Structure 1
């Protein structure tokens, strides 16, 4: 009887040890091939839980800041599927790349490494590889204006400029990185892809702490193979707007009326 009880306990322990989720990916590598500089190259790694317990992905860590991961946040039950997405920002990174994302979970293999690779070509290189017919299918980015003047504002204040962006091309227009010499210009919200023939409002935020007349050259990169969009932001930045609205009245400062 004691021998039978020992065998049953051993079997239960062995069964519990083998009761675990198994993360089975359809593929653990993806090659983007040649992509134009400026695009956000995205790939979803699909997987299935082929084990007998739920899987929870605790974290996904990219090997560099140029790669942004996303993943299924809810528990993946046995027999169900999920995804891990890797997005590579190619703006300002021409050349061959090979990056990894590490998936940490409670599966039988607690750490899995996925790889993305490709070759980022600048727009001149990309154009040389395309036929005129292929180039004609490229998105086309058109701004409603090339300058925006914020006027007088306080230094360090976050200012917003709205531009209308039209896609006059044949494919979805994807806006990617913004570059400026001051590193003080960015998107208020990440723009969605703009369909051919459509116009969208894109909001840029500007935060400059220097005082005085400012002029910033800004470049918006995208998947428009004909070139990047260039614009200029100007502002007259002062330390305190309220200080300029005070009048001297009998030797006493009073608010401007």
Structure 2
């Protein structure tokens, strides 16, 4: 009898505890995953409302709803949902420029014990048929281009590199495209030489690295002349990174090559005022077995450098150059970069940095006046 009594008490306590746990708001969705199936990119945005019921015994509040990417825009019932009442979380998906399958999550934050629910939308976007405007988005008058930038990326100093840029004549007349302001290392040919109305063609660009009297990142701008006329904004930009070709060096040549070693590759200047210029000498030594040649030193915005007294450093010799950072109107944490290009085959480009914090003097003066 005693055992039966204890069993009844245990069941009662467990039932009471379970009921206590169920107190409060509770969200129950009709479905947590919706598949849109196949949708057309041209048809625009699609929407689905995830309906739910508050199956708890207290008002349900949705605190926030977040989507896993910007292509999904959620909205939801913002007022408290009483026990037994319904609400919704709406997911809107924009298929524009997003062909293919998608699987996106929506995170629902509530005042329930669980705190967060995850919904998902899936489907497949059928790509729209591309137009001439899609293939040739850039325009110079009636000339359409796939891009207005020739990016040759890496070009060795002993290399001739070629690339093409597709073009289209969107006018009703024949078009002859020529160029001006070409640097010596660039050559452009248009194929065909005369574009008929609605015709496609391409610009063949030839980049001669041996004619570039520079190292590292090099950019230029070439004027585009259409049927003898050119506007202020009718130009193509060209970029390339000029590097020395060490690929043909033998193991013996590499072993006897120069080697640049800096005492420090990063300088931290701490905290200073905006009207204080920061200066630092970057010291380096040639620890190799042949002459070290400093090809170029360049810096990022706000930082200037003074070339070393000698650009050819014998084995065992040391040298330095000064980097000067003028904060100007800049405030807050600053990081400036200095690039050193040399004939060291293992470290042809070394990245140095200048870091620190610039105080906002105006803010400091205001705080000082407040404390007076």
Alignment TM-score, normalising by the size of structure 1:
0.46
Higher relative contact order by CA 8 Å / sep ≥ 6: 1 or 2? Answer: 1
Structure with bigger gyration radius: 2
TM-score (norm 2): 0.33
